[in-house]
Structure 1
Amino acid sequence: MELLKGIRVLDLSRYVSGPNCTMILGDLGADVIKIEHPKTGDGTRRWGMVGMGMDNPYFLSVNRSKRSVAIDMKHPEGRKLLKELASHSDVMIHNSKAGSLDAIGLGWDILHELNPRLVLCEITGYGDTGPNRDRPAFDFPTQAESGLMSVIGEPDGTPMKVGVPILDVATSLFACNGIQAALLHRERTGQGTRISTSLLESALACMTNVMSDYLVGGTEPVRWGNGHPNLAPYAAFRGSDGWFTIGVATEGQWAKLCDVIGRPDLAVDERFAVNQSRLAHRDALNSVLQPEFAKGSREHWLGRMKASGIPCAPINTVPQIVEDPQVHAIGIIEKTDHPTLGGIRMVRSPISVNREALPIRRPPPTFGQHTEEVLTGLLGLSHEQLENLRAEGAIR
């Protein structure tokens, strides 16, 4: 089911935060027209693995369900084309520095006058105002600056980043949520809306309980490694042959865990009887539990804990989770045909509608694959006009 069928998205974004947002919209049925620079394309086309070209895994990961059109937005003729495309679109999104569209004559006032029903989504690094307004931003530096890295890693180790561009992804989700709310608002009022978010704002919003511990509880968060600041045992342990995790969140689960490992005495030990006491004696608790877990295999303990209703899971590698029976059952890894790579596997949208998973509607486009299709089909340009625009460097 294409819930956003009939919605056209003009995507001027690059890298990850914007493209991931528009990919979600495309998966939901929107017609996403991705604008790429005629010479360089999206920046992630150059983030390829060794030996791979512009259609590399990084670009593929956030750019399915789109059409690629190569236009130079800084070229006068390119700007004219973008204005025409904006007049035919429902949503326009970019993730350049604040004010960048105004600088080339494509700011909100001009776009809103051109198309009053247009929803404009702007993703920036630091927001619309303030001393850092004009700074560019990427995921890793923002993880550092936002305080997120200060709570990731071992207590005495180096601060660590999340191993995926988590703030780009989170920002894309906030942006997508805002866009769809703006489209609903437009249905009620007939008017488009300008919405915005930033990597920094999204980072702070993602720190949920950690931020609240400081703002409300007055406690400065620290690194707990795989531990949890508010729960214990909530950590990683090693069996005789591999690692697994336990997430005990209630006293009932704690009592069950004590029975599973054959240590019911721990449930009544005053150091461990309740969560607050276990937090106060976290090191002692771990020093008791780890030797017990070392006596059995990972699968032994996971089997017993699952049978008792204790939240637990193995620490899988990527190859292991790809082959996991549950992953196969839900079918989230799907095969699709790509114009240059042939059959490839991708993680499809995690959204289902009426219990039917959203399929991969379009494979990620090749560079400028749909320039002619869009400019002739949507804007009505002739082949002669296209050749003139190519000769001028306005399009690819």
Structure 2
Amino acid sequence: MTVEAIKSRAGEIKLNLAMYRESAKLGLTMSQYLEQLDPTKDYGPNEKTNAFQRQMMCLNDRLLAAGMQPIVLHSVPKDGLWASKVEAFYQTEESAAIFPEWINRTARQALVADDVLNEIVGIRTPIDSNAYRTIYFTHTEDKASKKRVGEGAEIPATEMVTSENTIKLKKYGRRIKATYEAIRRERLDKISLMIEAIMKQAGIDRAADAYTALVSGDGNNNAATSYSLSDLGDTTALTYTGWATFLFKFYPYQMTALIGGVNELVKFLTIDAPEVDPIRLIEQLRFGRTNSQGEMAQTIFNNYRIIYLPTATADKLVGFDKRYSIEMVSEIGSDITETQKIISSQWEEIVVSEVNGFGVFLPDARRVIALA
């Protein structure tokens, strides 16, 4: 298929409410559904747009051909270009049909922006139902080892187990109470900022629940292993020795992030650390060398992210390997009733929300220090 034929294919797509119903039935977002109809990969490796963006371009071409104004999503003040007003989406039935997905895309982009939630979540999973059971690995250290197996002996097994209880799904988001008439003259970039701010607050709510799963588990008897100060060789306060012991507890995983409240992080950050690298000091004492330096074979003392969470549990520091700790599930599928109201401009509020839940991926990739 030629590039010209592919581009004409994008122009043949007619946007309407039925597409939202079909995408929801398939468990897809509208953007994913458009990608199925008009795959970006067919345009070659140098293509800079996605299916949604190409639909906006085709839509603007049709608006211009009909003597109407194109929809401009972002202002460029230095060039004297200003974002369109909300009412620009309501020039035709087709332009109105793409407005709900513009709202959804703006909200989704805000959800994956840098914030506390994304510092916690290791993997995201889309689902098409309101119930989800996580799948995790279960094994003992003995069974997990790839040790030599005697002749005729059974090879140790690591099981992939479906969790006994479904994880709790919640709807996060906000309602923007405003009629079409009230905001139709607002510029789209201003509405975009409003949606981003709303989803940022929703992200804080999500982060609190992700933290709960990180510490207490997802309801399947998989709370994180907790160590008291005495377990780490300390007495009244966390020391560098206790901290080093804690890091070793993660092996064969590694701690990539540490999360806590303000008091807990201040205590951690003010630990008296050795003035000399302990490993280098051992080398000097054993061999009398001053220029050589020992290196850990395993990545136990690696770099890690320090995360401040205002709602973190008092007197706890939580370390975890982000890659393997928490799975975030998101229910795919728009609320067709709300979408229909938005397309017809018969709305008194815009609901920006997403249904999420948090499950434990690998239980052993999390550790807690109880500071008191």
- TM normalised by structure 1 equals 0.24
Rg (Cα) greater in structure: 2
- TM normalised by structure 2 equals 0.25
Q: Greater relative contact order (Cα 8 A, min sep 6): structure 1 or 2?
A: 2
